[in-house]
């Protein structure tokens, strides 16, 4: 490819719309352009990277016995009604209606469609297991599309669905995919961690997320400094220090706390540690109001709370609901003598002695509250947010925190969808059984963004060799110099013939401009053809990643470059 012909409109300025580095660099390198919020066009260079990632995924899926198919993006509402997700998926589902008034959705994921296919086509245990996958656009009307390809409303996903006869079969399929996904991300040159995660709305029992470590990541993860434990904070288990205090229980009494609402205010007003205050938070769910309690120095984990409640929707109650419930202004809610609400207490709360809580009276708190004596929660559960420094739930080592970009996720679905849609098979005894399913997804476009987050410098992108749009750029210092161009052209032809993907920068630009663009786009190798090439037959090979420069005789340049490319690709496979 000739850069003079390539549609790669690079930008010098940092685009105002972009906040994170991958978004900035993909715009600047002429790889993507925005069409609407969360909707992008992939230009030729950007799309080449996408295709590289897709090819890696294909190889790894096929290696594990995956079969590629293509499911429709337009999905009939009936299937979503059957699974029960039409109403619970909410505003994220892009819905549309055809000319006959029938409802459809643009696929955000494909459990319904694939389960429908398999229930119609698979009858016998002999046809299982099945690993079926596709790579295509997905549609989610995200509340906050942002960061370019990181969180789009239209994005590319690889999704695989496994169908097995039983749990043991699922376990095997799950392990295969876990391995395949790990290989995909290693091959893309990414530093990642696999973390335990919360299954969320998709359902199922066990799930892991593949997290690319990056400060710009939207996910918070904790990992143990001593063992292998790593989890999304949404899921991370809290360790409870089982020791109950030996403190004697005192009689509770109301005290006046004018204007003291927050934990800090109450703590400094009453001169008690936040640890001795019960934080009471009022939530609204589809099944009414909930009072959630955690220790004053802790934060609540809303994902855990929602799971405990098994609720579809959970949000902080507004001032009016709080007033109706407690008869007080916000900031004075508490569990003692409260009515008409479910009370969920964090495990740690039950160990507190002579604690402080709101009195459900404006400007008033209660001291010497003893959980179990003065109030009995409807449920005691782990509902707090784990943070750095907390003990590891596996080995009691110390947990650290980091940020990650979720590039993939694997789920054990079990029979959730096969039951809802009736996907059954006949076992060896001719008995009908439900298929046991798993689902697995990689955000292809997000993976590309994540790769840039981890591989860049002040000058631009530094593509890992296996996913670089081209392996090398050949730069004749002067495109007007016929001798330089001749060498460049012949090198280009030889490299291409040897399977090295190269571009020639044949534009009539100053060398400085060409070098800047080469760095910005991030070709792993830059081959400069200058006067030395003409006079001495020597070319210069510069490595984008570390700036190292090698020189080589023109004759030996091709095998040398080929070897560098092959070695770097092989390294990612190791």
Cβ closer to ligand ATP: 40 or 252?
Answer: 40
Q: Are 388 and 403 in contact (CB under 8 A)?
A: no
Q: Which of 466, 447, 468, 442 is nearest to 136 (CA)?
A: 442
Closest contact distance (angstroms) between CB of 443 and Mg ion is 8
Cβ closer to ligand ATP: 211 or 487?
Answer: 211
Q: Which of 370, 376, 372, 377 is nearest to 250 (CA)?
A: 370
Selection from Mg ion, ligand ATP, none that 189 binds (CB < 5 to 8 A by kind) is: none
> Pattern 405-434, binding to Mg ion, x per CB under 5 A?
----x-------------------------
Cβ closer to ligand ATP: 155 or 425?
Answer: 155
Closest contact distance (angstroms) between CB of 109 and ligand ATP is 6
Closest contact distance (angstroms) between CB of 171 and ligand ATP is 20
Residue closest to ligand ATP, measured at CB:
443
Cβ closer to Mg ion: 135 or 529?
Answer: 135
Can you tell me whether residue 446 is helix, strand or coil?
helix
Selection from Mg ion, ligand ATP, none that 300 binds (CB < 5 to 8 A by kind) is: none
Cβ closer to Mg ion: 2 or 143?
Answer: 143
Binding site for ligand ATP (CB under 6 A): 109, 140, 142, 151-152, 155, 157, 406-409, 441, 443, 445-446
Cβ closer to Mg ion: 440 or 463?
Answer: 440
Selection from Mg ion, ligand ATP, none that 152 binds (CB < 5 to 8 A by kind) is: ligand ATP
Closest contact distance (angstroms) between CB of 13 and ligand ATP is 26
Q: Are 548 and 542 in contact (CB under 8 A)?
A: yes
Edge-to-edge strands of the sheet including 288-295?
314-316, 278-285, 288-295, 342-346, 379-381
> Pattern 189-228, binding to Mg ion, x per CB under 5 A?
----------------------------------------
Closest contact distance (angstroms) between CB of 209 and Mg ion is 6
Can you tell me whether residue 535 is helix, strand or coil?
helix
Q: Give the count of beta carbons closer than 10 Å to the beta carbon of residue 355.
A: 24
Closest contact distance (angstroms) between CB of 214 and Mg ion is 16
Closest contact distance (angstroms) between CB of 410 and ligand ATP is 9
Beta bridge partners of 472: 502, 525
Q: Give the count of beta carbons closer than 10 Å to the beta carbon of residue 493.
A: 13
Q: Which of 178, 160, 168, 63 is nearest to 114 (CA)?
A: 160
Q: Give the count of beta carbons closer than 10 Å to the beta carbon of residue 168.
A: 9
CA distance 543 to 472: 10
Cβ closer to Mg ion: 257 or 409?
Answer: 409
Q: Are 536 and 520 in contact (CB under 8 A)?
A: no
Can you tell me whether residue 139 is helix, strand or coil?
strand
Residue closest to Mg ion, measured at CB:
409
Q: Are 572 and 53 in contact (CB under 8 A)?
A: no
Cβ closer to ligand ATP: 184 or 539?
Answer: 184
Contacts for 246 with CB less than 8 Å, ≥ 6 apart: none
Of the candidate spans 57-65, 180-188, 403-411, 513-521, the one that interacts with Mg ion by CB under 5 A turns out to be: 403-411
Q: Give the count of beta carbons closer than 10 Å to the beta carbon of residue 92.
A: 13
**Which element (helix H / strand E) includes 167?**
helix 167-187
Selection from ligand ATP, Mg ion, none that 306 binds (CB < 5 to 8 A by kind) is: none
Selection from ligand ATP, Mg ion, none that 501 binds (CB < 5 to 8 A by kind) is: none
Residue 253 CB burial class (10 angstroms; 0-12, 13-18, ≥19): exposed
Beta bridge partners of 282: 291
Cβ closer to ligand ATP: 104 or 185?
Answer: 185
Selection from Mg ion, ligand ATP, none that 407 binds (CB < 5 to 8 A by kind) is: ligand ATP
Q: Are 495 and 539 in contact (CB under 8 A)?
A: no
Cβ closer to Mg ion: 283 or 440?
Answer: 440
Cβ closer to Mg ion: 83 or 409?
Answer: 409
Selection from ligand ATP, Mg ion, none that 142 binds (CB < 5 to 8 A by kind) is: ligand ATP
Selection from Mg ion, ligand ATP, none that 375 binds (CB < 5 to 8 A by kind) is: none
Selection from Mg ion, ligand ATP, none that 112 binds (CB < 5 to 8 A by kind) is: none
Closest contact distance (angstroms) between CB of 200 and Mg ion is 7
CA distance 328 to 331: 8
Closest contact distance (angstroms) between CB of 526 and ligand ATP is 31
Q: Indicate the pairing of strand 154-164 with strand 130-139.
A: antiparallel
Selection from Mg ion, ligand ATP, none that 408 binds (CB < 5 to 8 A by kind) is: ligand ATP
Closest contact distance (angstroms) between CB of 314 and Mg ion is 19
Closest contact distance (angstroms) between CB of 142 and ligand ATP is 5
Closest contact distance (angstroms) between CB of 303 and Mg ion is 12
Q: Are 11 and 30 in contact (CB under 8 A)?
A: yes
Distances (CA, A) of 426 to 131, 265, 416, 479: 19, 65, 18, 70
Half-sphere exposure at residue 549, Cβ-oriented, CA atoms within 13 angstroms: 6
Cβ closer to ligand ATP: 170 or 488?
Answer: 170
The first and second tokens of residue 477, run together, are: 């210092």
- Count of residues touching Mg ion (by CB under 5 A): 1
What residue ranges bind Mg ion (CB under 5 A)? 409
């Amino acid at each position: 490819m000739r850069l003079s012909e390539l549609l790669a409109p690079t930008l010098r300025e940092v685009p105002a719309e972009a906040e994170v580095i991958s978004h900035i660099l993909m715009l600047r390198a002429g790889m993507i352009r925005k069409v609407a919020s969360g909707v992008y066009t992939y230009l030729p260079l950007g799309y080449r990277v996408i295709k590289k990632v897709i090819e890696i995924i294909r190889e790894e899926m096929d290696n594990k016995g995956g079969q590629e198919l293509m499911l429709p993006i337009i999905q009939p509402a009936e299937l979503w009604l059957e699974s029960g997700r039409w109403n619970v998926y909410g505003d994220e589902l892009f819905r549309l209606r055809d000319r006959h008034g029938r409802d459809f959705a643009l696929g955000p994921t494909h459990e319904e469609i694939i389960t429908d296919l398999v229930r119609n086509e698979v009858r016998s245990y002999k046809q299982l297991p099945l690993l079926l996958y596709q790579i295509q656009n997905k549609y989610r009307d995200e509340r906050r599309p942002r960061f370019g390809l990181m969180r789009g409303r239209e994005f590319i996903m690889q999704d695989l669905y496994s169908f097995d006869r039983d749990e043991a079969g699922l376990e095997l399929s799950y392990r295969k995919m876990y391995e395949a996904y790990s290989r995909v991300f290693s091959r893309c040159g990414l530093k990642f961690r696999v973390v335990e995660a919360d299954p969320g709305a998709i359902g199922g029992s066990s799930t892991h997320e593949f997290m690319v470590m990056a400060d710009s990541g939207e996910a918070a993860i904790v990992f143990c400094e001593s063992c292998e434990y790593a989890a999304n904070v949404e899921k991370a288990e809290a360790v409870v220090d089982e020791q109950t205090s030996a403190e004697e229980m005192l009689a509770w009494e109301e005290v006046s706390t004018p204007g003291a609402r927050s934990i800090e205010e109450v703590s400094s007003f009453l001169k008690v540690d936040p640890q001795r205050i019960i934080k009471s938070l009022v939530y609204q769910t589809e099944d009414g109001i909930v009072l959630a309690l955690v220790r004053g120095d802790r934060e609540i984990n809303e994902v855990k709370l929602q799971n405990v409640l098994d609720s579809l929707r959970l949000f902080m109650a507004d001032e009016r609901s709080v007033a109706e419930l407690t008869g007080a202004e916000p900031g004075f809610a508490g569990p003692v003598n409260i009515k008409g609400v479910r009370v969920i207490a964090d495990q740690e709360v039950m160990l507190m002695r002579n604690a402080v809580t709101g009195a459900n009276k404006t400007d008033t708190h209660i001291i010497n509250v003893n959980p179990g004596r003065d109030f009995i929660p409807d449920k005691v559960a782990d509902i707090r947010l784990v943070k750095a420094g907390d003990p590891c739930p596996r080995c009691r080592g110390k947990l650290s925190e980091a940020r990650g970009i979720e590039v993939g996720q694997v789920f054990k679905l079990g029979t959730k969808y096969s039951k809802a849609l009736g996907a059954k098979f006949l076992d060896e005894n001719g008995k009908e059984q439900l298929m046991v399913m798993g689902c697995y997804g990689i955000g292809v476009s997000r993976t590309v963004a994540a790769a840039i987050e981890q591989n860049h410098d002040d000058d631009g992108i530094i593509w890992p060799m296996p996913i670089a749009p081209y392996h090398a750029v050949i730069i004749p210092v002067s495109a007007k110099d016929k001798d330089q161009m001749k060498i460049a052209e012949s090198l280009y032809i030889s490299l291409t013939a040897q399977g090295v993907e190269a571009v020639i920068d044949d534009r009539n630009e100053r060398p400085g401009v060409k070098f800047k663009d080469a760095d910005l786009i991030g070709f792993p190798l830059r081959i400069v053809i200058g006067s030395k090439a003409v006079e001495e037959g020597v070319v210069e090979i510069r490595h984008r990643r570390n700036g190292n420069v090698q020189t080589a005789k023109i004759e030996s340049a091709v095998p040398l470059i080929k070897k560098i490319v092959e070695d770097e690709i092989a390294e990612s496979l190791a």
